[in-house]
Structure 1
Amino acid sequence: MDLTVIAYIVYLLVSVGLTVWVARTLSRNGRVFLADVLHGNEKLADAVNHLLVVGFYLVNLGFVALHLSQDDPVADARQLFEALSVKLGVVLLVLGVLHLANVYVLNRIRRRGTLDREQRPPVAPQGYIPPAGGWSAPTART
């Protein structure tokens, strides 16, 4: 079998395996974060989590497929390892950048929700209480 084909097979196996592992890890551990971002709405957190995982798979597997082609034929084991290291390194960088982008966006949403909660008074106003000491509001002149 041609070494270029072996490089393709190894690249696809490792890339798809890494994509599935990262997606499962992010899905499992990101659920709690999403529930906090969405103010405890578990159903919505699960739905958003599922949509993010599907988008993650589509983007990453699409990139893996586009990055599959090899310009130069692989002639020996050294070129096989070099081609695989470049291809897998690029896939890992894309996975990392997409993960950081997701976390950044979700953290911005979470921070905005936290600021909104801090600006609301903890108790609604109950009414007007005049100050002590006999002070009275100025009256309008007629």
Structure 2
Amino acid sequence: MDLSVLAYVVYLVISIGLTVWVARTLSSNGRIFLSDVLHGDEKLADAVNHLLVVGFYLVNLGFVALYLKSADPVDNTRGLFEALSVKLGVVLLVLGVMHLGNVYVLNRIRRRGLLEREQFPPVDSDGWTGPTPAGV
């Protein structure tokens, strides 16, 4: 078997496995965060979570597919490991940047929601409460 083909197979197996693992981890743990961001609306949190996971898969698997081709031929075992380390390192960096981007955007949405909640007084501002009787 040609070492370049072996490099492609190993790269695809590891990259797709990492993408699936990260997406599942983000989906299961991100649901709680999304529920808080969306003020406890569980159905909306689940829908947004699902859409984010689909987008995550599309972007990352698309990148993995586009980054498959190698410019240099793999001639020996050392070249195989070097090619894999560069390709997998870039895939890991892209996965990390995608994750941090999602968390950043969701945290901004969450902060905006918290600020909006703090702007409303706990009671109606037009309500009038009479004086309390002495001794109570």
TM-score range, shorter chain: over 0.9
Q: Mark the runs of 5 or more structure 1 residues left unpaired by the alignment.
A: 131-142
Number of corresponding residues: 130
The 5 A counterparts of 1:1-142 are 1-125=1-125, 126-127=127-128
Q: Mark the runs of 5 or more structure 2 residues left unpaired by the alignment.
A: 132-136
Q: Which amino acid aligns with 1:55?
A: G
Identity %: 78
Taking structure 1 as the reference length, the TM-score comes to 0.89
- Work out the CA distance in 2 between the residues paired with 1:96 and 1:72: 26
Taking structure 2 as the reference length, the TM-score comes to 0.93
- Work out the CA distance in 2 between the residues paired with 1:114 and 1:124: 19
1:136 matched to which residue of 2?
none
- Work out the CA distance in 2 between the residues paired with 1:102 and 1:129: 50
- Work out the CA distance in 1 between the residues paired with 2:119 and 2:130: 23
- Work out the CA distance in 2 between the residues paired with 1:93 and 1:122: 45
Which one has the largest radius of gyration?
1
Q: Which amino acid aligns with 1:104?
A: Y
SS at match of 1:103: helix
Q: Which amino acid aligns with 1:4?
A: S
Q: Which amino acid aligns with 1:93?
A: L
- Work out the CA distance in 1 between the residues paired with 2:94 and 2:74: 24
Shift of 1:15: 0.0
Shift of 1:127: 2.6
| Aligned-pair Cα RMSD in Å | 1.2
